[in-house]
């Protein structure tokens, strides 16, 4: 097996184990929920995401 293949196999192993860990710990760089910067009471501020976009 060539060097390139070894490196690629190692890379795939790294990605796969990283993915396994992320899945186990529930990590995603694209998660919606974030930790708030400070403690605050209920009642968030709406960013006004909704609304019709057609046309």
Across 15-50, b (16+ Cβ under 10 Å) vs e yields eeeeeeeeeeeeeeeeeeeeeeeeeeeeeeeeeeee
Minimum Å distance from CB 3 to other proteins? 11
Q: How far is CA 31 from the centre of its chain?
A: 5
Applying CB under 8 A, the residues found at the interface with other proteins are 1-2, 4-5, 8-9, 11-13, 15-16, 18-20, 22-36, 38-40, 42-55
> Cβ of residue 35: shortest distance to other proteins, in angstroms?
5
CB of 51 to other proteins, least distance (A): 6
């Amino acid at each position: 097996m060539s060097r390139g293949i070894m490196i690629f196999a190692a890379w795939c192993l790294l990605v796969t184990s990283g993915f396994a860990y992320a899945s186990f710990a529930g990590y995603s760089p694209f998660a919606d929920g974030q930790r708030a910067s400070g403690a605050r009471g209920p009642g968030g501020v709406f960013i006004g995401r909704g609304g019709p976009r057609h046309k």
